[in-house]
Structures are given as C-alpha cells and as structure tokens.
C-alpha cells in the first residue's frame, strides 16, 4: 500500500466552486448551496471548503448563525466519497467550530438523520451530545430529475465550545 500526505487548505466556498462540487449532491442540492452562499454576504452563514493543492473542494460544509440564536449550526457537511474516512470531515468540523468561536459564540449545533449512524458516531467522537429529535425536510432530486420533498427525523446534537 502506498501512503501520501496531502496538505489541505480551509477557505471560504465561492459560487465559482459550485461546478466542482457536483460530487456532493444533485442539481437541487447545488442550488441550495448557492442559496446558502447568498446568505454569506448577509453575515448569516459561513460556508467552508477544504482543498488539496489543486484548489478544488474535497470537503464542504456550512455554519448557519440564524437557525439557533447564540449558536452556529453545522449543516450540509459533505466529503468527496473517494476521500471519506481519511480525517477530512474531522478537520472540516474543527474549522467550522473555530469560525463559531471567532464570532464570540460558544455553542455548535447540528442535526443528523436517524439513518446515518456513521456520521452520528463521528460527531459523538468529536464531543457532540444528543439532546432532542425533530422532523426535517428538504428538496431531493430523483435520478429522473423529479423533485420530491424528503421528510426525515433528525437527532439534534450540540457541543459546548471552549
């Protein structure tokens, strides 16, 4: 087995990055990322990209400061499928937490779908604890392009930041 070390940069995601993020979801998902980027200018959202030297994002994730007062809510976390389980998600979450702290806030929030135990285990390893559950819904695009409303139950988790 060959092993390489790849330097990764954390920066803000831009609209120009979106065509390179098609691995993260459907066209409808990319549109929802574009709407999130619109909110960056309003100060409501940070949207991060983790990039190897190519500059192309291999991990992305948003922090919403409007959803829960006094906290940053992590959402739309995604790592390129070919590079999952390498620690990229961990770096992304830590960078998101630093952004929350940089705003003078001390709480990170997130919701994880009840059928995503691997992601939940990662959040628990990083210090997040479950405190409630809530229904969530978002637009999902089928392979034939049909848009449906995906309704699901999420476990709500939070973490006190130092």
Ligand X SMILES: CC(C)(COP(=O)(O)OP(=O)(O)OC[C@H]1O[C@@H](n2cnc3c(N)ncnc32)[C@H](O)[C@@H]1OP(=O)(O)O)[C@@H](O)C(=O)NCCC(=O)NCCS
Phi, psi (rounded to 5 degrees) for 131: -135, -10
Query: Among 85, 143, 144, 162, which residue interacts with ligand X (rule: CB under 6 A)?
Result: 85
Residue 21: helix, strand or coil by DSSP?
Answer: helix
Q: Which stretch binds ligand X (CB under 6 A): 11-19, 77-85, 100-108, 141-149?
A: 77-85
Which residue's beta carbon is nearest to the bound ligand X? Answer: 89
The count of C-alpha atoms lying within 13 angstroms of the C-alpha of 85, restricted to the half-sphere facing its C-beta, is: 3
* Smallest separation (angstroms) from ligand X to the CB of 104: 25
Rounded distance between C-alpha atoms, residue 66 and residue 39, angstroms: 10
Query: Among 88, 96, 108, 157, which residue interacts with ligand X (rule: CB under 6 A)?
Result: 88
Q: Based on the number of CB atoms within 10 Å of its own CB, is 136 exposed (0-12), middle (13-18) or buried (19 or more)?
A: middle
Q: At what angle do helices 88-102 and 117-125 cross, to 10 degrees?
A: 60
- Give the binding-site size for ligand X (rule: CB under 6 A): 16
* Distance from the Cα of residue 53 to its chain's centroid: 21
- Stretch 89-128 residues interacting with ligand X (CB under 6 A): 89-90, 112, 116, 118-119, 121-122
Please say which residue, 7 or 104, places its beta carbon nearer to ligand X.
7
- Stretch 14-53 residues interacting with ligand X (CB under 6 A): none
Rounded distance between C-alpha atoms, residue 113 and residue 24, angstroms: 17
Query: Among 20, 26, 32, 84, which residue interacts with ligand X (rule: CB under 6 A)?
Result: 84
The verdict on 10 binding ligand X (CB under 6 A) reads no
Residues of the shown chain interacting with ligand X in the complex, contacts defined by CB under 6 A: 77-79, 84-90, 112, 116, 118-119, 121-122
């Amino acid at each position: 087995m060959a092993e390489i070390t790849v330097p990764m940069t954390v920066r803000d995601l831009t609209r120009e990055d979106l065509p390179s993020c098609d691995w993260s979801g459907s066209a409808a998902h990319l549109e929802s990322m574009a709407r999130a980027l619109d909110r960056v200018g309003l100060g409501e959202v940070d949207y991060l990209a983790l990039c190897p030297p190519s500059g192309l994002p291999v991990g992305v994730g948003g922090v919403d400061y409007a959803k829960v007062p006094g906290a940053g809510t992590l959402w739309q976390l995604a790592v390129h499928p070919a590079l999952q389980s390498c620690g990229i998600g961990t770096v992304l979450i830590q960078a998101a937490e630093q952004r929350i702290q940089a705003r003078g806030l001390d709480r990170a929030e997130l919701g994880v779908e009840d059928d995503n135990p691997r992601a939940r285990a990662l959040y628990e390893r990083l210090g997040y604890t479950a405190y409630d559950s809530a229904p969530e819904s978002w637009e999902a695009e089928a392979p034939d392009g049909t848009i449906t409303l995906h309704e699901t139950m999420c476990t709500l988790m939070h973490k006190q930041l130092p």
